[in-house]
Amino acid sequence: MPLTTYTAGEVLTASSLNANFSFAANSALALVKTQTIGSAVASVEVTGAFSATYENYLITVSGGAGSAGTQIRMILGATVAGYYISFYNAPFDGSAASGPAVNNGAIWNAIGFSGANGINMAATLQSPQLAKITYISAPYVNSSGAAGAGAGQSNGYLNNTTQYTAFTISPSSGTLTGGTIRVYGYQNS
């Protein structure tokens, strides 16, 4: 049932209001946490991001700026081993594509980009809080305008069954200032 809106003076019925509550509760994405990024931070840890409520998550970062035009990286909890990423980057200028990878590394890389005019990240994580492998899928868009800059996609996993509640993002080089991290949970139903 779609969300019902009301006009001034209209009598609200319990069934209509309950239908609206149900609509809200079953929205596809539920905001779990919002975190504002500080000034000149080399990393930002977000705790309480994952719980048993949701199996899959969308993490976005927007606004702010990076001190260097560089990739955004992520770890889960305090884990610094077992990360895998297959990364494909196609330059806007048509030059040769590149695909540096992470093979059982210490961090997921290239899951976002931080530049002078903003930070962008939109990573989907599957099952970070389940006792299963965690999978990640994230676009990469280098908006620096540098020769060879391009866009691509990072897909990978973290090869353990640890149940995580927190993650940390960091720029590959320099620091981050400002911007907002938002964590959304995908409804299980």
Footprint on this chain of another protein (rule: CB under 8 A): 35-48, 68-71, 87, 89, 91, 98, 100, 109-110, 140, 142, 146-150, 172-175
- Write down the least CB distance from residue 87 to another protein, Å: 8
Which residue's CB is nearer to another protein, number 129 or number 154? 154
Which residue's CB is nearer to another protein, number 74 or number 127? 74
* Cα 6–Cα 8–Cα 11 angle in degrees, nearest 5: 65
- Write down the least CB distance from residue 91 to another protein, Å: 7
Could you tell me the two tokens for 31? Answer: 């905001």
- Phi/psi of residue 40, each to 5°? 55, 45
- Write down the least CB distance from residue 136 to another protein, Å: 16
Q: Give the residue among 139, 172, 4, 154 at the shortest CA–CA distance from 83.
A: 154
Which residue's CB is nearer to another protein, number 130 or number 151? 151
- Write down the least CB distance from residue 8 to another protein, Å: 40
Alpha-carbon distance 76 to 156, whole Å?
13
- Count of CB atoms within 10 A of residue 24's CB? 10
Which residue's CB is nearer to another protein, number 45 or number 55? 45
Q: How many residues does the chain have?
A: 189
Alpha-carbon distance 45 to 125, whole Å?
16
Which residue's CB is nearer to another protein, number 18 or number 47? 47
Ranges assigned E (strand) in 79-147: 83-91, 102-105, 108-115, 118-126, 134-141
CB 136 within 8 A of CB 123: yes
- Write down the least CB distance from residue 177 to another protein, Å: 10
